Structure formats: structure tokens, C-alpha cells
């Protein structure tokens, strides 16, 4: 019986010995979240005219709200060609996340919400299944006035869909700009 | 020195043996509580190999004894051990009383006969075998007063009298389970089929198991030897229609006459997408494996126990519960999005949770003559939890959460040799814990790197004042040191006003982050007093306890976005320990015909740590509600009630009720996740002419929870309006019907077969459960029929 006890001890020592290799824990590595989108940059052009907008949130899920900036006013009754970019500007150099979205076009879609002086926003690019992707679009204005323009990037929405409420999926980006149509 | 002493003791016995020895001791072992003889009590003479068992009349005879001084150890499987010193001059007759019920009060687990001793706060092996296919928390909810908080269908945590997480301790095989219990979506890592018996400990007894247990202690019984050459096998196979799930479980128990034993237990469980009354719920499969090996050797005066267990689970998380921001959640809750139903399959895709738990323990005991029984234990645990989210590109293969918690535990217990009517125990414990969040996730750590050292000590005493009255008391103290290394967002560090208050923690500042090394220290003192009074078939227990609990890592360090809940959660370095004063009263009435259990309680907690919504923050992903751990004062009141009538002709009826009310006294509002009032009614029929056959029908009604916290109002920039997030809306009450037919075949030779057919949610009701965190996304499961075969041989 003593032998059994002894064997038990040896066995357990062996197991504990194997299991107790712990991690070196002096100073943990800093994590820079690569896939975080800190910035949305929208450019609208019509001829020589360019209107640009940005929403930048460098602290991500920190307490500071995004800084929203709109440069220039839209002209009335015009059509603009637009593009939207997603970046991680907490890194240097900034990481272009637009490319990753484009690579996985069939798992993403940019949705538009608008009101006031904007009459339509329509995607001009498609994914491999000919469903809209929305990184580039045409925007049409009508009469002068205030307008809002919102962009929502959804990951894994239902495709095709009948608009944002039908699409499901998860929201990666949701921004809203207040613009003036003059 | 100790060894030399021992050696001398042996020498003395050797010399005694050489004398002319012809005396005998005839004894009778009696259960102190019901005065019935105890069969199978082990009587051994310390320092010799002499050992006998009491027969069915409780009688034993020890022969060939010499004149002189003897130390006897009398023990029984269901009772404590007693040490008695005897002077042998002539042949002796003596009666021994074993403290069956005082010793194991409130934690009687190995119930001999269900009819004669139902303990309302425990589940025996037979009940657990029937529940083999359920998860641990669900099996536990058969105890009156225990509910489950679920995340989907596969992840469930036990809720005891309205409390969960760090406030509920699970004590498995003498080891406190260390398994990230602070997370609402982290279930205990225990396979139901690996458990021999389980009970809920309360009062002074419970405080022996550990601090923090403001809610209660779940005690899983360790394997005990049977002191006979026996080999038992148990196979359980179960299949169920919902999710096309299967369970296979095998258990081997091998015992030897000399007190040695070993065992092997293995279980595997798998199921696919679950079905509710509307369709298949996408990605709700699960896979679970566990293996455990108990071994040991028990002698009268010394023994050793070794236990290994490994548990692994891969749980799919309902696909459409995965949301990106609060707008997605509002759309879901307000019903703007129709649930996605898919086809059946067994695939488990992202989002999913992958958890594993390894446990190893070794414990030894030694009885020091005329002093006491000393136990020493070392245990090792490793708990790993990975969560896989839906991420961009190849990152899908990387977990978004990857936490590893390693614990080394040492404990020592000394049970003094005392007279029959009192018991004194001392214990100390030291736990060293290391938490390592893997940075390879590329996602900010949910819980930071930390190590902690928790040192504790307790004293327990019990005293029998008269045949009817006994008293127990425990006092316990802990010192907890936590050293963490955490990166805070610079903006968050500033917003929380930490700059001035905690500047000493700062190690280095970077562009957007700040590395800190918080060092925290907590000292707790807890005490409990239990009073037991028996009068014939009436038993009264009163428990008064004061328990202090130190904050857990989530309460201290949480910082950032919880994707699965679409909320920002913030801990606080300012957290102080919480202090709970609980008064509990239990009344039990027990005859052959009737069993009544009534247990009201009042729990007043100051500095209660609660996760409370405090505002909204805006990010580029949209708006998120902010939930902060704050300290408030809380009052929990409730009552658990169960009544069983045993009629003639094998008819048995049970009615149970659980009511709990929880109030935030500072803000005068309710807390979330408090179980609504629920009741169940059970009817069971067995047959004298066909023993082994039984039918059971159970109806349970869960009322609507009327006491819920306020909903949140959130400004939606897209629509430029305020929207209500009805996150605390309680679903309607529901009535569930289930039934069981069971047939236990007559024993043939050594083997016993049992067939069990059960059906849950018989009416295929479409309902939502307030205690399911994913209730916004889908209805609960529909009808489930399960067939289970159990073979024992």
C-alpha cells in the first residue's frame, strides 16, 4: 500500500510539474487594435467642386465623441459622384480599412440615410453577386436648404435586401453629417 | 519528532500484542438523530489493522483485545468520524452515537431513501443521473430557490436566491472552482454526469467553504470509499429530438476492502441547431467533453485523495444575436428585424465560445492520536475561455477574447478530537492566481493581466446543547492582494478622474494609452451562526450571517465595449468590499406521509456592487449605453416553499414556490436578472404490482417579472430623435408542461437497466424567458423529447 501512495505522489508531482509552466508576465504587450475604424472620410465631387466630410474618433470606444467636420456646401439640383473611406488613424501610418471592406464586398454594404435638400443617394459599385456595395455612389440634390447625410457600414447583412431595416447584420460604422445645400 | 512519537506508539502496541489477549468489545452504533441502528459503520482500532463493520442491527464485535488503553475510530459513510478512547479491563459492551444530522445538516447529499429523508437542498446521484444530459445549472435548478441565468440555450449560470457570479461559490471535490465566474456569459465548467451528489450549503457550514458566498455555496460531493471489494460500471446514453442531441457517459468505480479506490468517468455531448416553434435557431449547436479520474486510499487514521478532471465545451452563440451597435439592438428589441431561421446542422461557427477547465488536486489526511485529524490539500486549476467573433478577413480564425486563469491553491484543515457533543475545526488557505489575457487577439483586453494572492483562515465550532438543540458558528477572515498590469485608454483614465487619485499606479504614458500597475489590497471578515432545533418531525434552522466580499476583477477593471451586449462596461478602482447581513430561517416537517419545507430570508447588502446604466457615449460605430459598476445598498427578501404529500397507491404530489424581491435602496428601483415568481406542481405515480415503473407530470408557471429597472432612452443621431431601448421589458408569464415515464427493470444478476422517456415543453409553446440574456432575439426552445438508457452493473 505504501508503494501505491508513493506512486500516487510521483504521478501527481509529474502532472503538476508539467502543468505549472507559467507565462512571463513582467510587462504586458500593448495592443493596438488593427481592425478598429477611427475615421470615415467622404468626398463628393461635381466638376471642379469638391465637398469633403469626416468623422474622426481616435479613442474608439473611449469617452470622447467623434469629431465631425464638413468642408464646403453642396450646390442645389446637382449630381455629385461620391466615395467613402474607412481608416484606422490611431496607427501611423494610417491603415486603410476600405480595402478590406472591398475585398469582402459580398459580406459588406454601405447604407445611406438622407433628408432635406438631398433627393437620392445610389450606390454605383457592386459585389461579385451584382448586389450593391456602396463605397462609391451618386448623390443628387434638389432645392437649397439644410440636409442630413448618414452612412452605415454593415458587416454580414442579408444580401440582397430591401434597405437598412431589412438587412440585419452588425453595424461597424454609423455616422451622420449635417450639410447645407445652397 | 512526530515520526519518533508515532514509532513509539507502534512499539507500545507491539508490546501489548505479546500479552495474553482475550477481551472483547461488543458495540452498537446508533444514529444520534433518529436513534436507528447504523449499518456499515467502520470501527477500527488506531495503530492496528483491526477493523470491523457494524451489521444491520448496528452491532459489531471486536475480539482478541488486551488489557489497556485503546483509541477507536468509528465512522460511517454519511456521518462524521468519531474518536473514542477506551480503557479495557474486562469485556465491554458499549453504544456509540454518530452525529448524522448535526454533522451533515443542510448538506446531506447521499440520501439513502428518497421517501424517508428528502433533503430539500440537495440532489442525489439518482436525480443527477436522470439529468445527465442537462447542463449543470439546469440540473441544479431542481433545488427549490435555484434558477438559471442563460445566454442562449447552452450557457447557463446558477442563480441562488437572486444572486449569481462571484456571490455563488462552487466547491467541487474540496476545491473552490476558479473559473471566471464574474462573467454573466461564463457558465460553471462542470459536466452534470461527473457529479456524485450536490447540495446547497447555508449558514455556518457554508462559511467553512470560502468567503464571498453572499448568495450560497454549491457543494459537489467528493468520491468516498465503500470499504469493500466492488466494481461498478455505469453507462448512460441519451438522445433528444431538439437539436438532435446525443449524450454518452461512462463511469467506473472500483473499490477495495482496505479503503483504496479509483474511478474513471467520461462523458460526451453534442447537439446541433435547436428548434423552437418557428424554426431552427442558427448556430446554436454545442459540443462538450469531460474526463475525470478520482483515486484514493482511506485508512482509519490516514488517507490520500487525488482527483483530476478535464472539461471542454464549444458553444455556438445564436447567429442573429450578434449585433454591432445600439441601433441594431433597438431594431431587434422593437421587432423591426425578423429573426433568421435556417436549416438544421451540427456546424458551430462564429460567434462561439470555447472554454476548457483543468483541475488536479491531491489531499492527504492524518489523524494525530488524542489531538485531531489534519488534512492538507494542494490544487491546481487552469481555466481558459476563448470567444470567436465575426471579424474581418482572416481574423475570423483568431479569438476576440482569449483569457487564461491559473490558480494554485493550498489549504489545511484541522479537526480536533473532541467529545461527542462538540466539534472544533481550524482551517487556512492560500490561493495564488495568475490571469493572462492573450494579446494575440488584437483586441483590447476585457480583463487585464493580474496576479492575486488570497490568504484566509477560519474557525468553526459546533455544540450539541441537548437532544433537540444544537449550535454552529464560523468566523472567517481573508486578505486579498491584487497586482494588475493594465492599459487604460488615456481619455478614459482622464474621464474617470483617475489622474490625481491614482497617479501612483501610472507606469508609462503612450499616444492613446496609458500603462498602469494598480496594486490593491482588501481585508475581509465574515461570521455565521446557525441554530438547529428538532422536535419530533419538526426541524427549525436559523442562520444569521455577516459576509464581506472583496470586489472581483470585472468590478475593478472592466473598461470598454462589450460587443455581445452592445454596451460599454466600466469597473472602478474605487470599489470597496460589499457587506451582506443575511437572516435565514428554515422549517422542515417530515413524516412518511408528508414533507414540508419553508425557507424565508432577508439579505441586506451595503455597498452592493451592481452594474448600472449611467449614460450614453457616442463612437464612430454609433451610440452605446454606458454601464458602470457602482456601489449601492440592496435588499433581497424572499421565500422558498415546497410541499410533498405521499398518498397511498404510489401517488405523490409536490408543490413548490419561489419568490424573491430585490430592491436598490439608494435609487429605489429594481435590479435586472431577478427571477420572477415561479411555481411548479408535480404528480408522480408508481405501482406496487409493477415496481420500477413510474409516471410523472410537471407543470410549472413563471409569472411575468413586474419589478424591472427603467428602460433606457437613447438619442439616435440618424433619426435625430430619442428612442427607447426596452432592454428591461419583461416577457409575459408562461406555463410549461413536461412529463416523464420511467421503467427500472428488475435487477438481473449484477446488472440493472433503466429506461426513461421524458418530454419538455409538451405543448410546443412559443415563449420568452426573462432569465435569458438573448430573449430579444428568439423564443425559447420548442418541444423536446428525450430517451435515456442507463445501465449499471
A15 touches B: beta carbon within 8 Å: yes
pLDDT category, B80, cuts 50, 70, 90? Answer: low
B205-214 pLDDT, tens digit each: 899 998 888 9
* Cβ pair B515, B485 in contact under 8 A: yes
Q: Tell if the CB–CB gap between A66 and B511 is shorter than 8 Å.
A: no
Q: Tell if the CB–CB gap between A23 and B320 is shorter than 8 Å.
A: no
A22 touches B: beta carbon within 8 Å: yes
Higher-scoring residue by pLDDT: B791, B117: B791
Q: What is the pLDDT of residue B309?
A: 96
* Number of domain units in chain A: 1
Contacts of B437 in chain A (CB under 8 A): 28
Helix (H, G, I), strand (E, B) or coil at B166: helix
pLDDT category, B255, cuts 50, 70, 90? Answer: very high
Q: Tell if the CB–CB gap between A170 and B323 is shorter than 8 Å.
A: yes
Which among B324, B393, B436 is the nearest to A171, CB-wise? Answer: B324
A91 touches B: beta carbon within 8 Å: no
A62 touches B: beta carbon within 8 Å: yes
Mean pLDDT throughout A152-179?
Answer: 88
Interface test with B, best of A2, A5, A12 (most B CBs within 10 A): A12
Closest chain B CA to residue A172 = B621
Contacts of A1 in chain B (CB under 8 A): 258, 260, 297
A44 touches B: beta carbon within 8 Å: no
User: Residue B596: left (phi > 0), alpha (psi -120 to 50), or beta?
Assistant: beta
Cα distance between residue B351 and residue B778, in whole Å? 16
A67 touches B: beta carbon within 8 Å: no
| Closest CA relative to residue B451, chosen from B212, B178, B187 | B178
Residue A171 pairs in a beta bridge with A154
Q: What residues does CATH 2.60.40.10 cover in chain B?
A: 2-98
* Cβ pair B743, B298 in contact under 8 A: no
A149 touches B: beta carbon within 8 Å: no
Size of interface A-B (CB pairs under 8 A): 168
A47 touches B: beta carbon within 8 Å: no
A111 occurs within a structural domain: yes
A26 occurs within a structural domain: no
Closest chain A CA to residue B621 = A173
Closest chain A CA to residue B395 = A35
* Cβ pair B509, B561 in contact under 8 A: no
Q: Tell if the CB–CB gap between A100 and B392 is shorter than 8 Å.
A: yes
A160 touches B: beta carbon within 8 Å: no
From A164's Cα to the closest Cα of chain B, the distance in A is 10
Closest chain B CA to residue A65 = B618
* Cβ pair B529, B188 in contact under 8 A: no
Q: Tell if the CB–CB gap between B491 and A31 is shorter than 8 Å.
A: no
Q: What is the pLDDT of residue B336?
A: 62
Which helix (H) or strand (E) segment is B386 a member of?
A: strand B372-388
Q: Tell if the CB–CB gap between A33 and B406 is shorter than 8 Å.
A: no
A29 occurs within a structural domain: no
User: Structural domain of residue A113, as residue ranges?
Assistant: 34-181
Q: What is the pLDDT of residue B11?
A: 38
pLDDT category, B717, cuts 50, 70, 90? Answer: low
Higher-scoring residue by pLDDT: B120, B85: B85
Q: What is the DSSP letter of B197?
A: -
The burial class, CB within 10 Å (0-12 / 13-18 / 19+), for B152 is buried
Q: What is the pLDDT of residue B116?
A: 29
Classify the C-alpha dihedral B386-B237-B790-B147 as positive or negative: positive
B404-428 pLDDT, tens digit each: 999 999 999 999 877 767 889 999 9
Q: Tell if the CB–CB gap between B624 and A61 is shorter than 8 Å.
A: yes
Which among B322, B436, B617 is the nearest to A23, CB-wise? Answer: B436
Helix (H, G, I), strand (E, B) or coil at B181: coil
A27 occurs within a structural domain: no
Q: What residues does CATH 2.40.170.20 cover in chain B?
A: 192-792
Which among A8, A154, A165 is the nearest to B336, CB-wise? Answer: A165
B144-147: list long-range contacts, CB under 8 Å, 24+ apart. B144/B120, B144/B597, B144/B599, B144/B640, B144/B641, B144/B642, B144/B656, B144/B658, B145/B200, B145/B599, B145/B638, B145/B640, B145/B658, B146/B200, B147/B658, B147/B675, B147/B678, B147/B771
Task: Look over chain A and give the mean of its residue pLDDT values, rounded to a whole number.
Answer: 86
Contacts of A12 in chain B (CB under 8 A): 306, 360, 362
Q: What is the pLDDT of residue A15?
A: 47
Cα dihedral A57, A60, A64, A68 in deg (nearest 10): 20
Q: Tell if the CB–CB gap between A168 and B320 is shorter than 8 Å.
A: yes
Q: Which residue, chain included where needed, has cell 480599412?
A: A97
From B120's Cα to the closest Cα of chain A, the distance in A is 37
**Residue B12 pLDDT > 60:** no
Contacts of B395 in chain A (CB under 8 A): 35
User: Which residues, other chains included, contact B370 with Cβ-Cβ below 8 Å and sequence gap of 6+?
Assistant: B71, B85, B417
From B439's Cα to the closest Cα of chain A, the distance in A is 6
| Closest CA relative to residue B777, chosen from B269, B442, B350, B341 | B341
The burial class, CB within 10 Å (0-12 / 13-18 / 19+), for B110 is middle
Task: Look over chain B and give the mean of its residue pLDDT values, rounded to a whole number.
Answer: 87
| 3-state SS, one letter per residue, for chain A | CHHHHHHHHHHHHHHHHHHCCCCCCCCCCCCCCCCCCCEEEEEEEECCEEEEEEEECCCCCCCCCCEEEEECCECCCCEEEEEEEEEECCCCCCEECHHHHHHCHHHEEEEEEEEECEEEEEECCECCCCCECCCEEEEEECCCEEEEEEEEEEECCCCCCCCHHHHCCEEEEEEEEEEEEC
Compute the radius of gyration of chain A from its Cα atoms: 26
**Residue B337 pLDDT > 80:** no
**B36: number of Cβ within 10 Å:** 10
B580-621 pLDDT, tens digit each: 999 999 999 988 889 999 999 999 999 999 998 888 888 888
Q: What is the pLDDT of residue B9?
A: 38
Q: Which fold has domain B192-792?
A: Maltoporin; Chain A (2.40.170)
A74 occurs within a structural domain: yes
Closest chain B CA to residue A115 = B719
| Closest CA relative to residue B660, chosen from B781, B771, B545 | B771
Q: Tell if the CB–CB gap between B489 and A59 is shorter than 8 Å.
A: yes
Q: Tell if the CB–CB gap between A170 and B717 is shorter than 8 Å.
A: no
Q: Tell if the CB–CB gap between B336 and A34 is shorter than 8 Å.
A: no
A11 occurs within a structural domain: no
A21 touches B: beta carbon within 8 Å: no
From B75's Cα to the closest Cα of chain A, the distance in A is 21
Q: What is the pLDDT of residue B79?
A: 66
B169-199 pLDDT, tens digit each: 999 999 999 988 888 888 999 999 899 889 8
A1-44 pLDDT, tens digit each: 455 555 555 555 544 444 444 444 478 999 988 778 999 999 99
Higher-scoring residue by pLDDT: B391, B109: B391
B610-664 pLDDT, tens digit each: 998 888 888 888 888 899 999 999 999 999 999 999 998 889 999 999 999 999 9
* Cβ pair B513, B506 in contact under 8 A: no
Q: Which fold has domain B2-98?
A: Immunoglobulin-like (2.60.40)
Q: Tell if the CB–CB gap between A170 and B324 is shorter than 8 Å.
A: yes
| Closest CA relative to residue B571, chosen from B630, B521, B516, B528 | B630
Mean pLDDT throughout B114-131?
Answer: 67
Q: Tell if the CB–CB gap between A65 and B513 is shorter than 8 Å.
A: no
A9 occurs within a structural domain: no
**Residue B125 pLDDT > 90:** no
pLDDT category, B117, cuts 50, 70, 90? Answer: very low
User: Which residues, other chains included, contact B335 with Cβ-Cβ below 8 Å and sequence gap of 6+?
Assistant: none
Q: What is the pLDDT of residue B103?
A: 31
A131 occurs within a structural domain: yes
| 3-state SS, one letter per residue, for B556-602 | HHCEEEEHHHCEEEECCCCCCCEEEEEEEEEEEEECCCEEEEEEEEE
Interface pTM, i.e. ipTM: 0.80
Q: What is the pLDDT of residue B110?
A: 29
Interface test with A, best of B620, B625, B776, B778 (most A CBs within 10 A): B620
From B444's Cα to the closest Cα of chain A, the distance in A is 6
Higher-scoring residue by pLDDT: A131, B62: A131
CATH number for the domain including A125? 2.60.40
From B314's Cα to the closest Cα of chain A, the distance in A is 22
Q: Tell if the CB–CB gap between A174 and B622 is shorter than 8 Å.
A: yes
B302-321 pLDDT, tens digit each: 899 999 999 999 999 988 78
**Residue B779 pLDDT > 50:** yes
Amino acid at each position: 500500500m505504501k508503494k501505491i501512495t508513493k506512486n500516487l505522489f510521483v504521478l501527481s508531482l509529474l502532472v503538476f510539474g508539467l502543468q505549472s509552466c507559467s507565462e512571463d508576465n513582467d510587462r504586458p504587450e500593448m495592443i493596438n487594435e488593427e481592425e478598429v475604424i477611427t475615421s470615415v472620410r467622404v468626398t463628393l465631387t461635381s466638376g471642379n467642386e469638391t465637398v469633403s466630410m469626416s468623422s474622426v474618433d481616435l479613442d474608439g470606444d473611449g469617452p470622447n465623441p467623434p469629431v465631425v467636420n464638413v468642408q464646403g456646401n453642396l450646390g442645389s439640383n446637382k449630381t455629385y459622384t461620391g466615395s467613402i473611406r474607412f481608416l484606422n488613424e490611431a496607427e501611423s501610418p494610417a491603415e486603410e480599412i476600405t480595402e478590406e471592406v472591398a475585398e469582402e464586398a459580398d459580406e459588406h454594404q454601405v447604407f445611406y440615410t438622407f433628408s432635406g435638400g438631398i433627393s437620392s443617394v445610389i450606390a454605383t459599385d457592386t459585389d461579385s453577386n451584382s448586389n450593391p456595395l456602396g463605397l462609391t455612389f451618386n448623390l443628387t440634390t434638389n432645392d437649397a436648404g439644410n440636409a442630413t447625410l448618414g452612412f452605415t457600414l454593415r458587416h454580414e447583412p442579408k444580401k440582397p435586401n430591401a434597405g437598412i431595416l431589412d438587412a440585419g447584420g452588425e453595424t461597424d460604422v454609423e455616422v451622420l453629417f449635417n450639410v447645407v445645400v445652397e | 519528532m512526530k515520526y519518533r512519537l508515532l514509532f513509539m506508539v507502534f512499539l507500545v502496541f507491539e508490546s501489548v500484542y505479546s500479552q495474553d489477549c482475550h477481551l472483547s468489545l461488543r458495540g452498537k452504533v446508533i444514529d444520534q438523530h433518529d436513534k436507528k441502528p447504523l449499518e456499515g459503520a467502520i470501527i477500527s482500532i488506531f495503530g492496528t489493522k483491526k477493523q470491523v463493520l457494524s451489521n444491520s442491527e448496528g452491532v459489531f464485535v471486536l475480539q482478541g483485545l488486551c488489557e489497556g488503553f485503546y483509541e477507536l475510530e468509528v465512522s460511517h459513510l454519511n456521518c462524521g468520524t468519531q474518536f473514542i478512547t477506551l480503557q479495557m479491563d474486562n469485556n465491554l459492551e458499549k453504544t456509540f452515537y454518530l452525529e448524522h444530522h448535526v454533522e451533515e445538516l443542510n448538506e446531506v447529499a447521499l440520501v439513502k431513501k428518497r421517501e424517508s429523508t428528502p433533503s430539500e437542498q440537495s440532489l442525489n446521484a439518482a436525480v443527477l443521473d436522470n439529468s445527465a444530459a442537462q447542463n449543470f445549472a439546469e440540473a441544479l435548478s431542481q433545488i427549490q430557490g435555484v434558477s438559471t441565468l442563460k445566454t442562449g440555450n447552452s450557457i447557463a449560470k446558477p442563480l441562488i436566491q437572486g444572486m449569481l457570479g462571484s456571490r455563488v461559490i462552487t466547491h467541487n471535490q474540496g476545491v473552490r472552482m476558479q473559473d471566471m465566474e464574474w462573467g454573466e456569459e461564463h457558465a460553471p465548467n462542470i459536466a452534470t454526469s461527473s457529479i456524485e451528489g450536490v447540495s446547497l450549503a447555508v449558514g455556518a457550514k457554508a462559511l467553512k467553504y470560502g468567503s464571498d458566498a453572499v448568495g450560497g455555496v454549491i457543494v459537489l460531493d467528493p468520491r468516498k470509499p465503500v470499504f469493500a471489494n466492488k466494481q461498478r460500471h455505469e453507462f448512460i446514453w441519451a438522445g433528444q429530438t431538439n437539436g438532435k442531441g446525443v449524450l454518452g457517459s461512462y463511469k467506473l468505480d472500483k473499490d477495495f476492502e482496505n479503503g483504496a479506490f479509483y474511478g474513471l468517468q467520461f462523458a460526451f455531448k453534442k447537439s446541433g441547431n435547436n428548434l423552437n416553434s418557428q424554426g431552427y435557431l442558427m448556430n446554436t449547436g454545442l459540443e462538450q467533453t469531460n474526463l475525470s479520474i478520482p483515486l484514493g486510499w482511506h485508512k482509519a487514521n490516514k488517507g490520500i485523495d487525488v482527483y483530476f478532471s478535464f472539461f471542454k465545451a464549444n458553444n455556438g452563440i445564436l447567429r442573429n444575436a450578434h449585433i454591432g451597435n445600439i441601433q441594431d439592438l433597438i431594431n431587434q428589441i422593437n421587432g423591426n428585424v425578423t429573426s433568421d431561421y435556417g436549416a438544421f446542422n451540427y456546424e458551430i461557427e462564429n460567434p462561439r465560445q470555447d472554454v476548457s477547465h483543468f483541475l488536479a488536486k491531491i489531499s492527504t489526511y492524518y489523524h494525530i492520536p488524542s489531538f485531531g485529524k489534519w488534512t492538507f490539500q494542494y490544487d491546481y486549476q487552469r481555466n481558459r475561455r476563448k470567444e470567436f467573433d465575426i471579424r474581418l478577413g482572416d481574423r475570423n480564425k483568431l479569438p476576440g477574447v482569449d483569457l487564461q486563469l491559473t490558480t494554485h491553491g493550498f489549504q489545511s484543515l484541522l479537526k480536533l478530537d473532541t467529545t461527542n457533543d462538540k466539534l472544533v475545526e481550524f482551517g487556512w488557505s492560500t490561493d495564488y492566481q495568475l490571469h493572462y489575457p492573450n494579446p494575440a487577439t488584437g483586441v483590447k483586453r476585457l480583463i487585464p493581466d493580474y496576479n492575486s494572492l488570497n490568504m484566509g483562515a477560519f474557525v468553526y465550532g459546533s455544540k450539541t446543547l441537548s437532544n433537540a438543540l444544537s449550535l454552529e458558528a464560523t468566523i472567517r477572515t481573508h486578505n486579498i492582494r491584487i497586482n494588475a498590469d493594465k492599459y487604460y485608454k488615456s481619455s478614459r483614465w482622464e474621464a474617470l478622474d483617475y489622474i490625481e487619485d491614482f497617479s501612483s499606479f501610472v507606469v508609462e504614458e503612450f499616444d492613446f494609452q496609458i500603462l498602469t500597475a494598480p496594486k490593491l489590497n482588501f481585508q475581509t471578515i465574515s461570521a455565521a451562526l446557525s441554530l438547529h432545533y428538532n422536535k419530533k418531525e419538526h426541524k427549525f434552522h436559523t442562520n444569521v450571517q455577516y459576509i464581506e466580499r472583496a470586489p472581483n476583477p470585472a468590478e475593478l477593471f472592466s473598461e470598454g465595449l462589450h460587443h455581445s451586449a452592445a454596451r460599454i462596461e466600466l469597473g472602478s478602482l474605487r470599489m470597496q468590499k460589499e457587506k451582506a447581513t443575511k437572516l435565514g430561517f428554515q422549517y422542515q416537517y417530515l413524516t412518511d406521509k408528508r414533507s414540508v419545507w419553508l425557507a424565508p430570508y432577508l439579505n441586506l447588502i451595503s455597498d452592493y456592487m451592481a452594474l448600472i446604466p449611467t449614460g450614453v457615449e457616442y463612437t464612430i460605430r454609433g451610440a452605446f449605453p454606458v454601464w458602470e459598476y457602482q456601489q449601492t445598498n440592496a435588499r433581497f427578501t424572499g421565500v422558498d416553499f415546497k410541499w410533498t404529500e405521499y398518498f397511498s397507491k404510489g401517488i405523490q404530489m409536490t408543490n413548490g414556490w419561489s419568490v424573491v424581491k430585490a430592491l436598490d435602496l439608494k435609487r429605489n428601483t429594481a435590479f435586472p436578472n431577478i427571477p420572477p415568481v415561479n411555481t411548479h406542481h408535480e404528480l408522480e405515480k408508481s405501482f406496487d404490482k409493477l415496481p420500477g415503473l413510474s409516471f410523472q407530470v410537471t407543470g410549472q408557471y413563471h409569472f411575468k417579472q413586474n419589478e424591472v429597472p427603467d428602460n433606457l432612452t437613447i438619442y439616435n443621431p440618424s433619426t435625430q430623435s430619442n428612442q427607447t431601448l426596452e432592454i428591461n421589458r419583461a416577457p409575459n408569464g408562461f406555463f410549461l408542461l413536461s412529463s416523464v415515464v420511467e421503467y427500472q427493470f428488475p435487477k438481473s444478476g449484477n446488472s440493472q437497466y433503466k429506461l426513461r422517456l421524458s418530454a419538455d415543453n409538451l405543448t410546443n409553446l412559443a415563449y420568452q424567458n426573462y432569465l435569458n440574456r438573448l430573449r430579444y432575439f428568439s423564443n425559447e426552445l420548442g418541444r423536446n423529447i428525450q430517451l435515456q438508457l442507463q445501465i449499471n452493473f
